[in-house]
Amino acid sequence: MAEISSIFKIKGRIGNTIFSGRNGKYYARAVPASVSNPNTEKQQAVRDRFRVAVRFYQRLKETPLEEVWRRSGKNAKLTGFALFMRENLKMFDHRGKIVDYDGLRLATGNRDGVYDLSASVDDGSRVTLRWAGADDSAYLDQNDRLMVVLLRGDRAFSPEVVEEVQVTRGEGMAVFPLYRVKDVPVHVYCFFVSPSFSAFSNSQHVVV
């Protein structure tokens, strides 16, 4: 790309040259004569995986998780979509499936996370989540609210935020009813949200 000096502030394409401006300077670059875009099997798989991740993100937009990613993206100077793709693209495959539930992030941030998370289900199909506090946060972040999101094994692209959970970090446990199909795993994702809903922890994953 070459810098140009002109009294005319040219932007756009003229013939095979594109003119652009940035910070008061103007540049010109040639348009390639041809663009190579071989449709190899590997490249097609990459594009398909990208489309799968986009489809999952579109479903997040139907839940409060869209705002979680928007605000997390703002903190990282990215859009929520760009941050989600950076964190999660490799968690999907080109066939339309999630391949790494543990690695999948439904929230991300620098808030203290869920330590020693465990889950159990009683005979009444109630889930009990338990966690420990971080040693360095004994007097901090105890009012962070827990958010719980479910991905059911038979419809993993339909995330469900468990609205019944209204507990804080300091309570150390949460209980909620789980309506499930027999023998179908349910993936549970937990993360903490600051009282101002502006900071988040990385989500953590258990299966029930």
Name the residue ranges covered by the structural domains of the chain: 1-36, 41-207
0.85 exceeded by pTM: no
CB contact at 8 A, 100 and 87: no
Residues 6+ apart with CB under 8 A from 81: 57, 69, 73
Widest pairwise Cα distance in the chain: 79
| Paired residues of 25 in beta bridges | 22
Would the pLDDT of 150 be above 50?
Answer: yes
Rounded average pLDDT over 17-38: 69
Would the pLDDT of 61 be above 80?
Answer: yes
- pLDDT at residue 139, as a whole number: 52
- SS3 per residue for the chain: CEEECCCCCCCEEECCEEEEEECCEEEEEECCCCCCCCCCHHHHHHHHHHHHHHHHHHHHCCCCHHHHHHHHHHHCCCCHHHHHHHHHHHHECCCCCECCCCCCCCCCCCCCCCEEEEEEECCCCEEEEEEECCHHHCCCCCCCEEEEEEEECCEEEEEEECCCCCCEHHHCEEEEECCCCCCCCEEEEEEEECCCCCCECCCEEEEC
Would the pLDDT of 134 be above 70?
Answer: no
Rounded average pLDDT over 12-16: 63
CATH topology classification for 41-207 = Immunoglobulin-like (2.60.40)
CB contact at 8 A, 102 and 207: no
Report phi then psi at 187, rounded to 5: -90, 125
Would the pLDDT of 3 be above 50?
Answer: no
pLDDT band (50, 70, 90) for residue 182:
confident
Least confident of 48-62, 74-88, 121-135, 171-185: 121-135
Which one is predicted more confidently, 14 or 153?
A: 153
Report the C-alpha gap between 200 and 167 in whole angstroms: 15
Report phi then psi at 85, rounded to 5: -65, -40
Q: Strands 17-22, 25-30: parallel, antiparallel or unpaired by DSSP? A: antiparallel
Q: What pLDDT, in 10s, does the model give residues 99-132?
A: 999 999 999 999 998 889 999 999 888 999 999 8
